[in-house]
């Protein structure tokens, strides 16, 4: 009887899926989280709009990125690739209008829509696809796919000002929209929701009977998780995990969203501040891969605890950046390297307990709360006028995160694939 082909965690089809989900995360990072240091200052100056207002709304848009998880979780489970494709088309349309409108009200509405679209194709669909394809090997895989998030600092932040200067804002946004539409077409016509549909197996294991694989695919689409929202909110470990994983992301964004202006205010040259940010992006990639392997080797919970300790060290060093250039480099490099793992450890932690069958249901709650951290962090940079006060706040929050993570249960409680335990 015909069987599917097991090709290992990093077989050709698996690598294609890693590249695709990484691209979704890159687009999300660029069009939602990456606006503050690149696009918004240019738009503000060009249109004469208040940059502080734009930054605040940008924070709310990032919150929608997280809230989008609970909105689109059900659609993602039914058909992740089509749901992602539709959201990408919506994003492309917004990008074109975004570069041309002179209406502040419409511009702000577009930011909200883009945040929701990002929450659909990146925070929800990309993570569902990963859970489907690598139910037990997600840690090391997310270590690679979430490189897409940190590539924003390398391929987007430096390039956008150049493109704006050479071809103008409207034309640059059209280029971005075309790229987004191409990825949407790939999502519609090439990507498969499950490895079984692609003729391979979860985690790339040795082949199973093809008919059995088709049954699994059908069952996955029709599966109704017993973990309802009501049941999920009654489990204390879901709350400790959600809040515990949200806090480090919040802390990271208070640092990242304010790094360049703080260093300039301290008297460092703008070019130096930008260079620190760019090199930090490279270290994010290293950190993402490294923590992916730590996750796979030690388990997600231990990896997350190690991540929190690195964040604490970075924030302590940040307190001395005004007087020490060494502390500038150490704080930025440690934080960027550690934070490269944030987007892969959060979904991996959920998958550790719930597996691919119940992952969308659990992530709808846990992931929504966790991903709110990014938007809250951006908004907090507008509240704290003194960087030292902000860093003290960050340290207190990280201690809370450490305690919550330590008490979180990480034993598997979801449905298992029959014959693949």
Give me the chain's average pLDDT, please.
84
Provide the pLDDT for residue 420: 44
Residues 288, 164 contacting (CB under 8 angstroms): no
Six-digit token string for 363: 């992530």
- Domain coordinates of the chain in residue numbers? 12-407
CA distances from 333 to 27, 83, 224, 256, 310 (A): 23, 36, 44, 11, 10
Helix axis angle for 342-380 and 270-298, nearest 10°, is 140
Kindly report, residue by residue over 27-81, the tens digit of the pLDDT: 988 888 777 767 888 888 889 998 778 877 887 887 777 777 777 767 777 789 9
Return the structure tokens found at 109. 């509405």
Judge whether 226 and 20 are in contact, CB under 8 Å.
no
Asked if 230 and 38 count as a contact pair (C-beta separation under 8 A), the reply is no
Question: How far is C-alpha 203 from the geometric centre of its chain's CA atoms?
Answer: 22
Q: What is the pLDDT of residue 5?
A: 57
- All residue ranges of the chain with pLDDT < 70 are 1-8, 37, 73, 136-140, 143, 205-214, 216-218, 220-221, 417-421
Please give the model's pTM, rounded to 2 decimal places: 0.75
pLDDT of amino acid 273: 82
Q: What are phi and psi of 15, to 5 degrees?
A: -65, -40
The pLDDT, as a whole number, for residue 327 is 96
Pick the CATH number of 12-407 from 3.40.50.300, 1.10.3720.10, 1.20.1250.20, 1.20.1630.10: 1.20.1250.20
Nearest Cα to Cα of residue 256 among 342, 362, 171:
342
Give me the residues paired with residue 3 across strands: 209
Q: What is the DSSP-derived secondary structure letter of residue 205?
A: P
Query: In this structure, are residues 87 and 121 in contact, taking their beta carbons and an 8 Å threshold?
Result: yes
What ranges make up the beta strands (E) of 198-261? none
Distance CA(20)–CA(186), nearest Å, equals 8
d(CA 256, CA 280): 10
Q: What is the pLDDT of residue 421?
A: 42
As a whole number of angstroms, the distance between CA 367 and CA 123 comes to 8
How do the residues of the chain divide into helix, strand and coil, expressed in percent and rounded to 5?
80, 0, 20
Q: How far apart are CA 115 and CA 125, in angstroms?
A: 14
- Condensed to tens digits (0 to 9), the pLDDT of residues 114-173 reads 988 988 898 789 988 987 888 766 666 776 777 777 777 777 877 887 898 899 999 999
Task: Say whether 11 sits in a helix, a strand or coil.
Answer: coil
Do residues 388 and 319 lie in contact, with contact meaning Cβ atoms separated by under 8 Å?
Answer: yes
Torsion, CA 75, CA 77, CA 78, CA 79, rounded to 10: 80
The secondary structure of residue 124, as a DSSP letter, is I
């Amino acid at each position: 009887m015909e069987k599917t082909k097991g090709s290992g965690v990093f077989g050709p089809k698996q690598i294609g899926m890693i590249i695709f989900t990484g691209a979704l995360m890159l687009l999300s990072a660029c069009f939602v989280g990456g606006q503050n240091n690149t696009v918004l200052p240019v738009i503000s100056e060009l249109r004469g709009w208040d940059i502080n207002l734009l930054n605040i709304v940008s924070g709310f848009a990032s919150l929608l990125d997280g809230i989008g998880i609970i909105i689109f979780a059900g659609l993602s489970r039914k058909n992740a690739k089509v749901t992602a494709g539709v959201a990408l088309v919506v994003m492309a349309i917004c990008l074109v209008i975004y570069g041309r409108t002179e209406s502040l009200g419409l511009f702000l509405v577009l930011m909200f829509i883009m945040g929701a679209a990002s929450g659909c194709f990146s925070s929800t669909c990309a993570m569902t696809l990963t859970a489907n394809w690598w139910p037990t090997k997600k840690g090391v895989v997310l270590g690679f796919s979430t490189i897409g998030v940190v590539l924003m600092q390398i391929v987007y932040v430096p390039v956008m000002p150049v493109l704006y200067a050479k071809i103008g804002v409207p034309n640059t946004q059209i280029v971005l929209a075309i790229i987004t539409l191409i990825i949407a077409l790939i999502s519609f016509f090439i990507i498969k929701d499950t490895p079984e549909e692609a003729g391979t197996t979860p985690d790339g294991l040795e082949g199973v009977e093809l008919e059995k694989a088709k049954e699994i695919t059908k069952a996955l689409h029709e599966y109704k998780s017993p973990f309802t929202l009501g049941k999920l909110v009654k489990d204390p470990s879901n709350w400790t995990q959600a809040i515990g994983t949200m806090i480090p992301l919040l802390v990271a964004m208070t640092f990242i969203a304010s790094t360049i202006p703080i260093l300039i205010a301290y008297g460092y040259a703008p070019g130096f501040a930008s260079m620190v940010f760019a090199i930090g992006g490279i270290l994010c990639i290293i950190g993402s891969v490294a923590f992916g392997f730590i996750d796979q080797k030690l388990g997600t919970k231990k990896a997350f605890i190690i991540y929190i300790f690195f964040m604490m060290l970075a924030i302590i060093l940040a307190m001395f950046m005004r007087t020490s250039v060494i502390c500038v480099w150490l704080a930025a490099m440690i934080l960027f390297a550690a934070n490269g793992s944030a987007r892969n450890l959060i979904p991996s932690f959920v998958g550790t307990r719930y597996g691919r069958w119940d992952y969308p249901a659990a992530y709808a709650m846990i992931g929504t709360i966790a991903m709110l951290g990014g938007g809250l962090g951006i908004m907090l940079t507008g509240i704290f006028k003194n960087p030292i006060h902000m860093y003290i706040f960050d340290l207190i929050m990280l201690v809370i995160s450490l305690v919550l993570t330590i008490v979180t249960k990480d034993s598997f409680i979801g449905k298992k694939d029959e014959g693949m335990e």
